[in-house]
Amino acid sequence: MAWLRLSGADAATPPQSAALLAYVSDYGLLSSALVPHATSPFSRPMQIASLDHAMWFHADVAEGSWLLYATTSSWTGHGRGQATGKLFTQDGVLAAQTVQEGLLRLTPSAPAQPFTPHLP
């Protein structure tokens, strides 16, 4: 679980707030599918990619309000995982729900490579 607030969303319209929620709902959702394996993207080099992501909106979010993002995973295996998330307002109203399936794979150990941007 994590608390979040949409910074700078004070003047956002309800559709804009929903778009921001959809964006932030992707962050960290698949990490809950790694819990049964006692690992995280921060403890081991992982390749994580979204395969699909669906979201349902149930209530408008008040400007600048805090939301509790509760995530869980119902299944993980064969290099994939499925995770669900619920976003609650401070007073316990379910504002949105999301489901995501993703790729979860260990990456081979390799020496760190310096980042070199490719400029036109």
Active centre residues (catalytic): 26, 50, 100
- Using the 8-state DSSP alphabet, how is residue 35 labeled? G
- Could you identify the residue written with the tokens 């979201």? 55
Closest CA to 69 of 90, 87, 82, 49: 87
Residues contacting residue 40 through CB under 8 Å, at least 6 positions apart: 31, 34, 46
- Cα gap 83→100, rounded to integer Å: 5
